[in-house]
Amino acid sequence: MTAREVALKALYSIEKSGAYINVALKEALSKGELPVQDKGLVTEIIYGVVSNKSAIDYIIMQFSKIKIKKMTPWVLGILRMGIYQIYYMDKIPHSAACNEAVTLAKKYSHGAGAGFVNGVLRSAARASENFEFPKSGDKVKDLSLEYSYPEWITEKIISEYGEEKCQELFEENRKAHSTTIRVNSLKTNAGELMEVLKNEGLECETVDGLKNTLIVRGKLNVGSSEAYKNGFYSLQNFSSQKAVEVLAPQPSSFVIDMCAAPGGKSCAIAEKMENRGKILSFDIFSHKVELIKKAALRLGIDIIDAKVMDSTVLNEELIQKADYILADVPCSGLGVIHKKPDIKWTRTKEDIVELCKIQEKILDNAAAYVKPGGTLVYSTCTILPEENRLRIKEFLKDNSEFKVVYEEQILTSSLGESGFYICKMVKG
């Protein structure tokens, strides 16, 4: 099976079955023995097509007499892949993109379908050099079309950050981001790990202000990394690590991680506490709780008590028991579109309303669990104000005993940061 056929099947699964992009990609790459360069091509095509879907569809319609709704999912997928290669990938010749698409169309369609694909893509290829998206003068519509976003998301981001910053964010979300890892300070340090990973063929560099964080240069495969298997490091984004840095839990403390799965922050907290004290980590799903336990075992951590528990339901036994609380709540995820582009098409305005209600309940329960003098960190991986600064503003109206001592809205950066919000409060 060719790389493009593997990508096509994954895109079909995403479009027709609603598969998550990371799950579809993992399944696609697990079948057969594709060369490394082909795996890279599969990954780029899948992410590129999903990320730029509405813009690609607009381009298709400039050269097709058949409406997209009338096309079969296979033909549409083939066209989308072809357009993505022609308009968004510099290294692939237009002829190769067209020829490979026709070959797939012959297998997944019929003679007329292959001819249709050939005609659309060759016409699109001829026009590609001078193609421009139309400018209506309406910034919401124009940015949404060119960068392939639902208009409601664009409108919200412009409202909070302005047109220039919105465009900048959309550009950043198109870029490949660095791989960052968290050094397990219980087993090693940054310098030692850099040498170990060098022997695995990887170059790393340190990060200012985060002593246990490394940027990895090269293709990191944790499945074949002995350093990973031995628990020397974990994959974790800058922004996520910073939430734990801001929490700053001390050894021998009692910490509650309200929404802990898959365990990255709980384990980072344990490492910061030198594996001394107790961390109660809970999630609503049992299979996710098992992920927390598995992560802790690999890293040599034994102070995490992972349990199935609903963070929106108050547990009276925990009231005023915790020294530190981390409430990394469910959110829209609009800060991680660069690695989960399907969020653009699965999230709705109605979701935000419901998520805000959940966030409010979790935050209220977290406030009840923390001791007087204790610390509460609220965090999300989104950039919407109603889930972040406005959520805290509402919370403080009814919880005057809390004082904000640190607040930061992190925006997506190709250096490795995801969009993230962190607010640290101390209970008086």
Q: Which tokens sit at 187?
A: 């087993």
Residue 5, classed as helix, strand or coil, is helix
Residue 305, classed as helix, strand or coil, is strand
Residue corresponding to tokens 């004082």: 403
By the 10 Å C-beta count (0-12 exposed, 13-18 middle, 19+ buried), 358 is classed as: middle
Single-letter amino acid code for the residue at 191: G
- Check: CB of residue 9 under 8 Å from CB of residue 28: yes
β pairing state of 304-308 and 277-283: parallel
Per-residue burial over 307-323, b if 16 or more Cβ lie within 10 Å, else e, is eebebbeebeebeebbb
Between the alpha carbon of residue 57 and those of residues 74, 122, 138, 393, the distances in Å are 14, 16, 20, 40
By annotation, the residues acting in catalysis are 381
CA dihedral 62, 66, 68, 72 (to 10 degrees): -140
